[in-house]
Amino acid sequence: MPASLLFRSPLALRTLHTYLSKHPYRRHSKILRHSAVNSGGCSLHSSARTPTHNLSCRATHCAAEIATDSALSPASSKTQAPATARRKRVLSGVQPTGTLHLGNYLGAIRNWVNLQELYETYFCVVDLHAITLPHEPKALLEATRQSAATYIACGIDPERANIFVQSHVSAHAELAWLLSCGTPIGWLRKMVQFKEKSQTRGAEEVSTGLLTYPVLMAADILLYQTDVVPVGNDQMQHLELARDIAERMNSKYGGNKWKKLGGRGGRIFKVPDAFIAPVGARVMSLTDGSSKMSKSAELDASRINLLDDPKLIQQKVKRAKTDTFEGLEFSNPDRPEATNLLGIYSLCTGVSMDVIAEEVKDMRWGQFKSTLADAVVAHLEPIQQRYHEVIADSTYLDQVLAKGAEEANKTANLTLENCRQAMGFTPKYAARN
């Protein structure tokens, strides 16, 4: 729906004005905890597409998602177009390393499905991030397509969201270089993940990319003038870095400095906020309830991969680490495995934790594990079926990725050109015949 239609309904305009007067947008708010994405209400893509219906639903349920963004207008101050209203924008992605697992799905991808209803969404397979550690080229090629197919199988709709491969938008790499030249190295040395990974490898095996990839992550986010970024608690440090880089670049090159070079002036990059899902943000390992479920963990038994067959899922759940306490319960800090397995059951069945706690309080682990395995198998069955349909249709998958990259390039290249101009680079000239 064109953003301009949002202001053709007096009802929508009054509702939006009332909402914004009570809830002004706070630029420095760092964390947005949303539960509205899980609620019911009207969809922008429902079969009833009359303007009045969509506008009233949009204004009532999604008024906070309307953004006025001048950062997407042309760079030249002489040809600057009026600011346009748009839905707030979300960007997220997963590395194509290893196999996507239940933690990736319940903690991230399933939340994306809800976000595509309310936001303008960009979901990418971040293949450039996958080469910061040694990799097999053939495996990367296969995993990239498999990840994209999994996005679709999990419910990401190519008609509502932009699905693309990071390396298909060259602006990611170019902006990462520009941002690197404006980012103090001291900031990067503070990154916890770099410290942890570099300590396990010798100096000759630690790539420069491992140190600088948080800048590439910042470029991923800032290219799309992203409003909110779905992150887990373990990724907050990287998002904070992206915010710091955006503010530093805006201060150093934006405003009147940019305007004097013939540009639009003002900020170059939007400073993004974090979206932390109310539940499912952190699914833990089956072998250690205090560690996050991870693709890089050596033990395959520590995770349930989205494409594991039912028999293998049964085996993994049966062997999952438990404790010797009587009964089952949530939120006991001395029982992280119980909290994790019960949480997975809640997320797979949709049953509230209060109801589950009453249902399982007298169960033994053997009985509950059988129930949990059945729930996981049932939940993943339609995802696996859809995945095999998508991955078998190469033409369709290629079309989805091409369309997503085309849309992503439009936004990314505009941001990149604004940054190039603000930093003083000579504009690109069209070739003459």
292 is catalytic: yes
Distance (Å, whole) CA 141 – CA 166:
13
Pairing assessment for the beta strands 273-275 and 228-230 based on DSSP bridges: parallel
311 is catalytic: no
Q: Which of 22, 30, 195, 197 is catalytic?
A: 197
Q: Under a CB-based contact definition with an 8 Å cutoff, are residues 311 and 265 in contact?
A: no
Give the angle subtended at the CA of 202 by the CAs of 196 and 203, to the nearest 5°.
95
Q: Which of 22, 190, 260, 292 is catalytic?
A: 292
Q: Under a CB-based contact definition with an 8 Å cutoff, are residues 90 and 124 in contact?
A: no
Q: Which two tokens stand for residue 90?
A: 């979300």
Torsion sign across C-alpha atoms 204, 208, 211, 216: negative
Q: Which two tokens stand for residue 164?
A: 């693309």
Phi, psi of 334 (to 5 degrees): -85, 0
The string of DSSP letters for 373-425 reads HHHHHHHHHHHHHHHHHHHH-HHHHHHHHHHHHHHHHHHHHHHHHHHHHHTTP
Residue 427 DSSP code: P
Q: Under a CB-based contact definition with an 8 Å cutoff, are residues 409 and 171 in contact?
A: yes
Distance (Å, whole) CA 141 – CA 423:
35
Neighbours of 176 (CB within 10 A): 23
295 is catalytic: yes
Q: Under a CB-based contact definition with an 8 Å cutoff, are residues 360 and 328 in contact?
A: yes
Radius of gyration of the chain (CA): 23
Strand partners, 89: 120
With CA atoms as reference, report the closest residue to 300 among 280, 323, 319, 281. 319
Q: Which of 259, 295, 321, 403 is catalytic?
A: 295
Q: Where are the alpha helices (DSSP H) in 181-279?
A: 185-189, 192-199, 208-222, 236-253, 255-260
Residues annotated catalytic, as ranges: 197, 292, 295
